[in-house]
Amino acid sequence: MSQREKANSIIQHLREQGYQAYLAGGCVRDFLLGKEPQDYDIATDARPEAIEKIFPQTVAVGTQFGVTLVIVESEGFEVATFRDDGPYLDGRRPSQVRFASMEEDIRRRDFTINGMMYDPVADRVVDLVGGRTDLSRRSIRAIGNPQERFEEDRLRMVRAVRFAASLGFTIEGRTFRAIQTQAPTITRISWERIGEEITRILTEGGARRGFELLDASGLLKILLPEIEATKGVEQSPDFHPEGDVFTHTMLTLGRLGRPTETLAYGCLLHDVAKPVCIQKEDDRVTFYGHPEKGAEMAVEILKRLKRSRAVWERVAYLVRSHLRHTQAPRMRLSTLKRFLGEEGIEELLDLVRIDGLSANGNLQHYYFCKRKLAELKEEEIHPEPLLRGRDLIAMGFSPGPVFQKILREVEEAQLEGEIGSRDEALAWVGERYKRSP
């Protein structure tokens, strides 16, 4: 069965037991937009204990909120009991919930486009909040009073931006003004939740639009003051005719489709240190050291956003290395091979291309690197070592720091094409190093 067929089967089983049951939320929105939903959520008036009796495989994932995971053919579907929420005291979760009617459940949700339900049996959309109208208007509008919706869960402010960016919608005026008013309160929720939303804005399409909305709403200066600081930082017009660092950064985001998380953050943060590294020399503006300083700043920012170690290590590499390609034509062959053999080189070159196209359009060094990557075989970039430590021991060398030095030099000679076999490597070492007495 397809994912949708499995969800419909859950609804059918609940109906057979006399309960109401509907597809709810984002899957209905996506269905009406002609998009394939990523997941299917179900809303019902059946209580969790009843759901557990009806279905053989269930997991209680949010009993206090009436959410049960129903497993169908190894795939889980969230089935939520209609509920109404009590006061939100922490800007994230209701202090209490009570099971309620379908109408009450709909009116506690965030945005009208997410507040619809769909009856697959009758092929009927239940829309009590004007969600279909807002879909046709391409508008993100809070259900009811937007101030109250954002006070209940402050993350909804960033979610509004994400939906507007990824769907290409606008944010309705009253809703947007409420975000502007409450933007300073956004950090009262966990950075982990914020980081997840920022990542989705960057990777789900419309990243530039998303960050322009974060900026206009006042959220950007609270969440990412380092990006806010790039505004008005002038650059040399010969390299950056497009304008200041912020303008350049927005242009790079505009060239992202649905990138990896690391490429997206690489584009966002590659020039983040320019405001702290700027120097003016006569008529020139320079930013010496900004890749290295930017890598340090990127790590701190990504730690704040609670991204994984793998993410911030890769992004630090991208930021630190985003100008190294300019030296590639002058590198020794061994150095070039090591550079092109680095883990992450393809992603780095993607960043280089986007960076160049968002500036003066000069991609000559990028094309040099791509051409060399195509010319060099994998075994030339990552050759098998000609010698190992045991070979040096057999030659009479005593283990120690010199081992690493010798093996490194042998590797460099191999990459330069000076030696190509084990015998040549042994002879090369014998000519240059004295054995231990």
Q: Tell me what the mean pLDDT of segment 192-217 comes to.
A: 97
In 3-state terms, what secondary structure has residue 77? Answer: strand
Residue 334 lies in a domain: yes
Total structural domains within the chain: 3
CA distance 381 to 383: 6
pLDDT band at 25 (very low <50, low <70, confident <90, very high): very high
Does one domain contain both 357 and 405?
no
- The two tokens of residue 7 are 């969800």
pLDDT band at 307 (very low <50, low <70, confident <90, very high): very high
Does one domain contain both 89 and 119?
yes
Residue-number span of the structural domain to which 299 is assigned: 261-381
Does one domain contain both 395 and 377?
no
> Would you say the C-alpha torsion 339, 275, 190, 78 has a positive or negative sign?
negative
Residue 106 lies in a domain: yes
Q: Which residues contact 248 (CB under 8 A, 6 or more apart)?
A: 235, 240, 242, 271, 358, 359
Domain endpoint, select from 112, 130, 148: 130
Does one domain contain both 319 and 427?
no
CA distance 222 to 228: 9
| pLDDT the model gives residue 89 | 53
CATH of residue 77's domain is: 3.30.460.10
Could you read off the pLDDT of 311-367 as tens digits, one per residue?
999 999 999 999 999 999 999 999 999 999 999 999 999 999 999 999 999 999 999
pTM of the complete model beyond 0.85: yes
Could you read off the pLDDT of 378-398 as tens digits, one per residue?
878 888 888 888 888 888 888
Q: Tell me what the mean pLDDT of segment 280-299 comes to.
A: 92
CA-based R_g, the chain, Å? 29
Residue 222 lies in a domain: no
Residue 428 lies in a domain: yes
Does one domain contain both 346 and 419?
no
Does one domain contain both 302 and 286?
yes
Q: Tell me what the mean pLDDT of segment 237-254 comes to.
A: 94
| pLDDT the model gives residue 271 | 97
Measured from the Cβ of residue 29, the count of other Cβ atoms closer than 10 Å reads: 23
| pLDDT the model gives residue 425 | 87
Does one domain contain both 406 and 427?
yes
Domain endpoint, select from 130, 150, 176: 130
Residue 213 lies in a domain: no
Residue 340 lies in a domain: yes
Does one domain contain both 373 and 414?
no
